[in-house]
Amino acid sequence: MAFTDTHETSRYGGGRPAPRGGGGWHRLGNALKTTVLLAGLTALVLVIGQRLGGAQGLMYAGFFAVVMNFGSYWFSDKIALAIHGAQPLPYEQAPWLHQMVERLAARAGMPKPKVYILPTRAPNAFATGRNPQHAAVAVTAGILDILDQRELEGVLAHEIGHVRNRDTLIGTVAATLAGIISYAAQMLFWFGGSMLSRSDDDEGGGMAGAFANLGLLLVAPIAATLLQLAVSRSREYGADATGAELNGDPDALADALLKLERGSELIPYDRAPATSHLFIVNPLHRGGVMGLFSTHPPIPERVRRLREMGMRAGGARGRGGWEYAY
């Protein structure tokens, strides 16, 4: 499959220096929010372990969470790429795309990620990898059809922003903790009769303790899912800001998001829904109440923030700096 350079030329020259980032307070607030949310997920895992097995259950829950997080983090890139059938994109088939990724990575102060192609008409992209030294950027065949070069550069800057911000680590930890909680609830659904009441019977809690455990196990997976989604949404805002800083053109990403939203509605991509949080826009068909459980913030809100950044950047460029409208 060959990809020729049929895209429009970016409005900014490829050799411009990387903009000097502002937005430090925004990134600090985002990091603090993520820390609190991840702490909430970890607490849910430990509480469930303690309720089911006392001190021993607490120890097992903590150990299991550490092991699962380590395994998921270490192999997350290979798993995500294999699930979606991603293939390495040879340099000679799309030199302009490789050069774009290399240019953005240089501005981010990191090695050039590997470039992959997903053989689907659904327009989307994602980044993966445990750190900038082991990163990969994947684009679908569909995204190359609908975006011009300027918009595509905005998308790639967003994905490289994820890598620079270590969002793969954060997303992996959040997804793993949420998965542990959901798995525990499923196991207890099938084998839970005696387990729900055993520890509380031993402690004299009786039926009241069993109902308390049951309530926890019903509510915990929902709470874990909501916390995971909150982590994912906050990281998308952060990657939008970082990508706009790297690319120097917030409106390019805003224009791309609007096209991608329409494209994902026309051609939804439901392969491996558990990995939907990786993509720049939600690849699943959304409707009704399910929008509340989206892994991504609303596109109109993301576009609004980027448009404001673009307006502020017009004046900031003349002063050699950036101001973020967050």
Residue 34 in domain: yes
Number of domains in the chain: 1
Output the pLDDT for position 42: 73
pTM score of the predicted model: 0.73
Single out the residue of 137, 134, 142, 132 nearest to residue 81, CA to CA.
137
Do 18 and 107 contact (CB within 8 A), yes or no?
A: yes
Tell me how far the alpha carbon of residue 144 is from its chain's centroid. Answer: 21
Give a yes or no: residue 190 inside a domain. yes
3 state SS for the chain? CCCCCCCCCCCCCCCCCCCCCCCHHHHHHHHHHHHHHHHHHHHHHHHHHHHHHHHHHHHHHHHHHHHHHHHHHHHHHHHHHHHCCCEECCHHHCHHHHHHHHHHHHHHCCCCCEEEEECCCCCCEEEECCCHHHCEEEEEHHHHHHCCHHHHHHHHHHHHHHHHCCHHHHHHHHHHHHHHHHHHHHHHHHHHHHHHHHHHHHCCCHHHHHHHHHHHHHHHHHHHHHHHHHHHHHHHHHHHHHHHHHHCCHHHHHHHHHHHHHHHHHCCCCCCHHHHHHECCCCCCCCHHHHHHCCCCCHHHHHHHHHHHHHHHHHHHHHCCCCCCC
pLDDT for position 205: 52
CA 210 from centre of chain: 37
* Residues in contact with 164: Cβ distance below 8 Å, sequence separation at least 6, in sequence order: 108, 109, 110, 132, 242
What tokens were used for 313?
């950047």
- Contact indicator for 133, 126 with CB cutoff of 8 Å: no
CA angle 137, 129, 295 (to 5 degrees): 80
Does residue 314 lie within any of the structural domains?
yes
Could you list the pLDDT tens digit for every one of the 326 residues in the chain?
A: 555 554 544 444 444 444 444 445 555 665 666 677 667 767 777 777 776 667 787 787 778 777 776 776 777 788 889 889 999 999 999 999 999 999 999 999 999 999 999 999 999 999 988 889 989 999 999 999 999 999 999 999 999 999 998 887 677 666 666 666 766 666 665 655 444 445 444 554 556 656 665 666 666 667 666 666 766 777 899 899 999 999 999 999 999 999 999 999 999 888 777 678 889 998 876 555 455 567 788 999 999 999 999 998 774 554 444 443 33
Give Cβ neighbours of residue 215 (< 8 Å, ≥ 6 apart): none
Burial environment of residue 86 by CB neighbours within 10 A (0 to 12, 13 to 18, 19 or more) = buried
Residue 206: which region, alpha, beta or left (left: phi > 0; alpha: psi -120 to 50)? left
Would you say 233 and 65 are in contact if contact means Cβ atoms under 8 Å apart? no
Residue 14 within a domain: no
Residues annotated as catalytic (active site), given as ranges: 159
Residue 295 lies in a domain: yes
Instruction: Give the structural domain span for 91.
Output: 24-319
Residue 325 lies in a domain: no
Q: Is residue 260 included in any domain, yes or no? A: yes
Angle (nearest 5°) at CA 236 between 268 and 230: 95
